Structure 1
Amino acid sequence: MTLAPVEYAVIEFGDSTVTGDLVPALTELVETGLVHVIDLVFLSKDADGTVTVLELDDLPEGTAAAFAGLEHDIDDLVNETDLQVEAELLSPGTSAVVIVWENLWAQRFSDAVLASGGVLLDSQKVPQDVAAAALAAHLASLD
Protein backbone atom coordinates (compact mmCIF):
# COMPACT_ATOMS: atom_id res chain seq x y z
CA MET A 1 0.00 0.00 0.00
CA THR A 2 1.32 3.41 -0.91
CA LEU A 3 0.51 6.58 0.93
CA ALA A 4 -0.77 9.69 -0.73
CA PRO A 5 1.23 12.83 0.10
CA VAL A 6 1.22 13.49 3.84
CA GLU A 7 1.15 16.94 5.44
CA TYR A 8 0.79 18.37 8.88
CA ALA A 9 -0.35 21.64 10.38
CA VAL A 10 0.01 23.17 13.81
CA ILE A 11 -3.01 25.28 14.69
CA GLU A 12 -2.66 27.58 17.68
CA PHE A 13 -5.60 28.72 19.77
CA GLY A 14 -5.45 32.09 21.50
CA ASP A 15 -6.11 30.70 24.93
CA SER A 16 -5.14 27.53 26.68
CA THR A 17 -8.16 25.55 25.51
CA VAL A 18 -8.41 23.53 22.31
CA THR A 19 -12.06 23.16 21.38
CA GLY A 20 -13.72 20.92 18.86
CA ASP A 21 -15.02 23.87 16.83
CA LEU A 22 -12.85 23.04 13.81
CA VAL A 23 -13.92 19.38 13.77
CA PRO A 24 -16.98 19.78 11.47
CA ALA A 25 -14.85 21.27 8.68
CA LEU A 26 -12.18 18.60 9.12
CA THR A 27 -14.84 15.87 9.26
CA GLU A 28 -16.26 17.11 5.95
CA LEU A 29 -12.83 16.70 4.34
CA VAL A 30 -12.58 13.17 5.71
CA GLU A 31 -16.13 12.16 4.76
CA THR A 32 -15.75 13.43 1.19
CA GLY A 33 -12.59 11.37 0.78
CA LEU A 34 -10.24 14.31 0.32
CA VAL A 35 -8.07 13.58 3.35
CA HIS A 36 -7.41 10.86 5.90
CA VAL A 37 -6.35 11.95 9.38
CA ILE A 38 -3.27 9.99 10.40
CA ASP A 39 -2.37 11.51 13.76
CA LEU A 40 -3.60 14.12 16.21
CA VAL A 41 -1.51 15.56 19.02
CA PHE A 42 -2.41 18.43 21.31
CA LEU A 43 -0.02 20.93 22.89
CA SER A 44 -0.50 23.35 25.74
CA LYS A 45 1.99 26.04 26.75
CA ASP A 46 1.40 27.69 30.09
CA ALA A 47 2.30 31.28 31.00
CA ASP A 48 5.82 30.35 32.14
CA GLY A 49 6.54 28.50 28.87
CA THR A 50 6.13 24.94 30.12
CA VAL A 51 4.77 22.72 27.34
CA THR A 52 2.48 19.76 27.91
CA VAL A 53 1.85 17.17 25.19
CA LEU A 54 -1.65 15.73 25.28
CA GLU A 55 -3.35 12.84 23.52
CA LEU A 56 -7.11 12.50 23.05
CA ASP A 57 -7.49 10.69 26.37
CA ASP A 58 -5.96 13.68 28.18
CA LEU A 59 -8.47 16.23 26.84
CA PRO A 60 -11.72 17.35 28.48
CA GLU A 61 -14.51 14.89 27.66
CA GLY A 62 -16.38 17.15 25.22
CA THR A 63 -13.28 18.07 23.25
CA ALA A 64 -12.03 14.49 23.19
CA ALA A 65 -15.43 13.28 21.94
CA ALA A 66 -15.42 15.86 19.13
CA PHE A 67 -12.01 14.76 17.84
CA ALA A 68 -12.52 11.03 18.53
CA GLY A 69 -14.65 10.56 15.42
CA LEU A 70 -11.71 11.42 13.20
CA GLU A 71 -9.85 8.30 12.22
CA HIS A 72 -6.19 8.35 13.05
CA ASP A 73 -4.12 5.26 12.82
CA ILE A 74 -0.42 6.03 13.04
CA ASP A 75 0.17 7.22 16.58
CA ASP A 76 3.50 8.85 17.24
CA LEU A 77 4.21 9.75 13.62
CA VAL A 78 5.11 13.13 15.06
CA ASN A 79 7.90 12.42 17.55
CA GLU A 80 9.04 14.26 20.68
CA THR A 81 11.70 16.21 18.77
CA ASP A 82 9.12 17.39 16.23
CA LEU A 83 6.80 18.45 19.02
CA GLN A 84 9.55 20.38 20.81
CA VAL A 85 10.29 22.30 17.61
CA GLU A 86 6.61 23.10 17.07
CA ALA A 87 6.11 24.01 20.73
CA GLU A 88 8.73 26.75 20.35
CA LEU A 89 6.33 28.49 17.96
CA LEU A 90 3.53 28.65 20.53
CA SER A 91 2.94 31.80 22.53
CA PRO A 92 2.76 31.39 26.31
CA GLY A 93 -0.77 30.73 27.54
CA THR A 94 -1.93 29.09 24.31
CA SER A 95 -2.76 25.63 23.07
CA ALA A 96 -2.50 23.93 19.71
CA VAL A 97 -3.49 20.86 17.78
CA VAL A 98 -1.03 19.12 15.49
CA ILE A 99 -2.94 17.41 12.69
CA VAL A 100 -1.19 14.98 10.33
CA TRP A 101 -3.20 14.00 7.26
CA GLU A 102 -2.88 12.11 4.02
CA ASN A 103 -4.02 14.01 0.92
CA LEU A 104 -6.16 11.31 -0.67
CA TRP A 105 -7.12 13.69 -3.48
CA ALA A 106 -3.49 13.57 -4.68
CA GLN A 107 -3.09 9.77 -4.60
CA ARG A 108 -3.52 9.18 -8.34
CA PHE A 109 -1.09 11.94 -9.26
CA SER A 110 1.43 10.75 -6.67
CA ASP A 111 1.23 7.18 -7.99
CA ALA A 112 1.68 8.46 -11.57
CA VAL A 113 4.79 10.42 -10.56
CA LEU A 114 6.31 7.31 -8.98
CA ALA A 115 5.29 5.02 -11.85
CA SER A 116 6.87 7.36 -14.40
CA GLY A 117 10.15 7.39 -12.49
CA GLY A 118 9.63 10.92 -11.25
CA VAL A 119 10.97 12.12 -7.94
CA LEU A 120 9.49 14.98 -5.94
CA LEU A 121 12.34 17.42 -5.41
CA ASP A 122 10.47 20.15 -3.56
CA SER A 123 7.00 21.04 -2.45
CA GLN A 124 6.03 24.36 -0.92
CA LYS A 125 2.85 26.01 0.22
CA VAL A 126 2.14 29.53 -0.89
CA PRO A 127 0.92 31.51 2.14
CA GLN A 128 -2.77 32.33 1.82
CA ASP A 129 -2.22 36.09 2.11
CA VAL A 130 0.39 36.01 -0.68
CA ALA A 131 -1.90 34.03 -3.00
CA ALA A 132 -4.86 36.30 -2.19
CA ALA A 133 -2.81 39.42 -2.92
CA ALA A 134 -1.62 37.97 -6.25
CA LEU A 135 -5.19 37.05 -7.21
CA ALA A 136 -6.47 40.50 -6.24
CA ALA A 137 -3.72 42.15 -8.32
CA HIS A 138 -4.54 39.92 -11.29
CA LEU A 139 -8.27 40.66 -11.04
CA ALA A 140 -7.57 44.39 -10.74
CA SER A 141 -5.47 44.25 -13.92
CA LEU A 142 -8.45 42.83 -15.82
CA ASP A 143 -10.57 45.91 -15.15
Structure 2
Amino acid sequence: MSETSLDELGPVDYLIVEFPAGESYFNGEIIEELITLVDQGTIRVIDILILTKDENGDVEALELSEVGDLGGLLAIEAELAELLAADDVVHLAAAMDPGTVAGVLVYENLWSAPFASAARRAEGQLIANGRIPIQAIIASIEADDASETVEV
Protein backbone atom coordinates (compact mmCIF):
# COMPACT_ATOMS: atom_id res chain seq x y z
CA MET A 1 0.00 0.00 0.00
CA SER A 2 1.22 3.51 -0.72
CA GLU A 3 1.80 6.03 2.07
CA THR A 4 -1.29 7.96 0.97
CA SER A 5 -3.48 4.88 1.13
CA LEU A 6 -2.01 3.92 4.53
CA ASP A 7 -3.04 7.36 5.81
CA GLU A 8 -6.58 6.64 4.63
CA LEU A 9 -6.73 3.11 6.00
CA GLY A 10 -9.66 2.25 8.21
CA PRO A 11 -9.50 -0.04 11.24
CA VAL A 12 -8.50 -3.60 10.37
CA ASP A 13 -10.22 -6.52 12.09
CA TYR A 14 -10.20 -10.25 11.78
CA LEU A 15 -12.71 -12.96 12.50
CA ILE A 16 -12.53 -16.71 12.60
CA VAL A 17 -15.50 -18.88 11.66
CA GLU A 18 -15.08 -22.46 12.88
CA PHE A 19 -16.99 -25.39 11.48
CA PRO A 20 -17.52 -28.62 13.42
CA ALA A 21 -15.65 -31.70 12.34
CA GLY A 22 -17.11 -33.00 9.08
CA GLU A 23 -19.12 -29.81 8.51
CA SER A 24 -16.55 -27.60 6.80
CA TYR A 25 -18.85 -26.16 4.18
CA PHE A 26 -18.07 -22.66 3.01
CA ASN A 27 -21.41 -22.53 1.29
CA GLY A 28 -22.82 -20.11 -1.21
CA GLU A 29 -24.58 -17.98 1.40
CA ILE A 30 -21.35 -17.17 3.24
CA ILE A 31 -19.61 -16.29 -0.02
CA GLU A 32 -22.57 -14.19 -1.21
CA GLU A 33 -22.68 -12.17 2.03
CA LEU A 34 -18.93 -11.53 1.94
CA ILE A 35 -19.08 -10.36 -1.67
CA THR A 36 -22.06 -8.12 -0.83
CA LEU A 37 -20.05 -6.45 1.96
CA VAL A 38 -17.18 -5.85 -0.48
CA ASP A 39 -19.46 -4.63 -3.29
CA GLN A 40 -21.26 -2.22 -0.93
CA GLY A 41 -17.95 -0.73 0.17
CA THR A 42 -18.45 -1.79 3.79
CA ILE A 43 -15.20 -3.79 3.96
CA ARG A 44 -12.08 -4.45 1.93
CA VAL A 45 -10.76 -8.01 2.20
CA ILE A 46 -7.10 -8.02 3.13
CA ASP A 47 -6.53 -11.72 3.67
CA ILE A 48 -8.44 -14.99 3.83
CA LEU A 49 -7.05 -18.24 5.18
CA ILE A 50 -8.53 -21.68 5.60
CA LEU A 51 -7.19 -23.43 8.71
CA THR A 52 -7.50 -27.15 9.39
CA LYS A 53 -6.69 -28.47 12.85
CA ASP A 54 -6.42 -32.24 13.15
CA GLU A 55 -7.17 -34.31 16.25
CA ASN A 56 -3.50 -34.05 17.33
CA GLY A 57 -3.61 -30.25 17.18
CA ASP A 58 -1.50 -29.97 14.03
CA VAL A 59 -2.56 -27.04 11.87
CA GLU A 60 -2.51 -26.61 8.11
CA ALA A 61 -3.10 -23.16 6.61
CA LEU A 62 -4.21 -22.61 3.04
CA GLU A 63 -4.38 -19.28 1.26
CA LEU A 64 -7.53 -18.70 -0.76
CA SER A 65 -5.58 -19.22 -3.98
CA GLU A 66 -4.73 -22.78 -2.83
CA VAL A 67 -8.37 -23.79 -2.34
CA GLY A 68 -10.16 -25.65 -5.11
CA ASP A 69 -13.54 -24.10 -5.91
CA LEU A 70 -13.49 -20.40 -5.12
CA GLY A 71 -16.86 -19.64 -6.65
CA GLY A 72 -17.71 -15.95 -6.33
CA LEU A 73 -14.59 -15.28 -4.26
CA LEU A 74 -12.56 -15.13 -7.46
CA ALA A 75 -13.63 -11.50 -7.81
CA ILE A 76 -11.91 -10.46 -4.56
CA GLU A 77 -9.09 -13.01 -4.46
CA ALA A 78 -6.74 -10.84 -6.52
CA GLU A 79 -6.93 -8.06 -3.91
CA LEU A 80 -5.67 -10.18 -1.05
CA ALA A 81 -2.45 -9.04 0.61
CA GLU A 82 -1.51 -12.33 2.32
CA LEU A 83 -0.89 -10.36 5.50
CA LEU A 84 -0.86 -13.20 8.03
CA ALA A 85 2.46 -14.81 8.96
CA ALA A 86 3.15 -18.29 10.39
CA ASP A 87 3.13 -16.93 13.97
CA ASP A 88 -0.29 -15.41 13.34
CA VAL A 89 -1.61 -18.76 12.14
CA VAL A 90 -0.43 -20.47 15.35
CA HIS A 91 -2.12 -17.77 17.45
CA LEU A 92 -5.38 -17.92 15.48
CA ALA A 93 -5.50 -21.72 15.47
CA ALA A 94 -5.22 -21.76 19.27
CA ALA A 95 -8.90 -20.75 19.38
CA MET A 96 -9.92 -23.79 17.30
CA ASP A 97 -11.03 -27.16 18.59
CA PRO A 98 -9.16 -30.23 17.31
CA GLY A 99 -10.74 -31.82 14.24
CA THR A 100 -12.24 -28.59 12.91
CA VAL A 101 -11.86 -26.33 9.91
CA ALA A 102 -12.02 -22.55 10.13
CA GLY A 103 -12.05 -19.61 7.79
CA VAL A 104 -10.03 -16.56 8.84
CA LEU A 105 -11.02 -13.21 7.35
CA VAL A 106 -8.84 -10.11 7.77
CA TYR A 107 -10.66 -7.01 6.59
CA GLU A 108 -10.52 -3.25 6.60
CA ASN A 109 -13.59 -1.43 7.86
CA LEU A 110 -14.09 0.95 4.94
CA TRP A 111 -17.20 2.46 6.50
CA SER A 112 -15.07 3.98 9.27
CA ALA A 113 -11.98 4.90 7.23
CA PRO A 114 -12.91 8.63 6.85
CA PHE A 115 -13.41 8.94 10.62
CA ALA A 116 -10.15 7.09 11.36
CA SER A 117 -8.25 9.32 8.91
CA ALA A 118 -9.73 12.46 10.46
CA ALA A 119 -8.76 11.22 13.93
CA ARG A 120 -5.16 10.64 12.79
CA ARG A 121 -4.99 14.09 11.18
CA ALA A 122 -6.14 15.52 14.54
CA GLU A 123 -3.20 13.69 16.17
CA GLY A 124 -5.53 11.10 17.68
CA GLN A 125 -4.81 7.42 17.82
CA LEU A 126 -6.90 4.36 18.46
CA ILE A 127 -5.76 3.01 21.81
CA ALA A 128 -8.34 0.27 22.38
CA ASN A 129 -11.22 -1.45 20.69
CA GLY A 130 -13.27 -4.51 21.36
CA ARG A 131 -16.30 -6.46 20.44
CA ILE A 132 -19.26 -7.50 22.53
CA PRO A 133 -20.23 -11.08 21.66
CA ILE A 134 -23.83 -11.35 20.44
CA GLN A 135 -24.46 -14.06 23.03
CA ALA A 136 -23.67 -11.53 25.79
CA ILE A 137 -26.08 -8.99 24.29
CA ILE A 138 -28.84 -11.59 24.04
CA ALA A 139 -28.23 -12.70 27.64
CA SER A 140 -28.36 -9.08 28.84
CA ILE A 141 -31.64 -8.40 27.00
CA GLU A 142 -33.16 -11.63 28.30
CA ALA A 143 -32.07 -10.76 31.86
CA ASP A 144 -33.66 -7.29 31.51
CA ASP A 145 -36.87 -8.83 30.15
CA ALA A 146 -36.96 -11.33 33.01
CA SER A 147 -36.50 -8.62 35.63
CA GLU A 148 -39.27 -6.51 34.08
CA THR A 149 -41.60 -9.52 34.17
CA VAL A 150 -40.83 -10.13 37.85
CA GLU A 151 -41.39 -6.46 38.81
CA VAL A 152 -44.87 -6.29 37.27
Matches of 1:129 and 1:72 in 2, distance apart?
35
Identify the residue that residue 31 of structure 1 maps to in structure 2: 39
Unaligned runs of 5+ in 2: none
Identify the residue that residue 128 of structure 1 maps to in structure 2: 134
**Alignment check: 8 A CA contact 2:53 2:100 kept:** yes
- Percent identity, aligned pairs only, is 31
Q: How does 1:1-143 map to 2 (within 5 A)?
A: 1=5, 2-16=8-22, 17-21=24-28, 22-61=30-69, 64-71=70-77, 73-137=79-143, 141=148
SS in 1 for 2:123: coil
**TM-score for the superposition, normalised by structure 1:** 0.84
RMSD of Structure 2 on Structure 1 (CA)? 2.3
Question: Compared with structure 1, are the counterparts of its residues 108 and 43 closer, same or farther at alpha carbon in structure 2 (3 Å cutoff)?
Answer: same
Matches of 2:93 and 2:60 in 1, distance apart?
9
| CA deviation vs aligned residue, 1:92-141 (integer Å, no higher than 9, x gap) | 21101110111011012111211222121111111112223334455675
Amino acid at match of 1:20: N
Unaligned runs of 5+ in 1: none
**Alignment check: 8 A CA contact 1:10 1:97 kept:** yes
| CA deviation vs aligned residue, 1:34-58 (integer Å, no higher than 9, x gap) | 1111111111112232211112233
* Pairwise CA distance, 1:26: 1.1
**Larger Rg over CA atoms:** 2
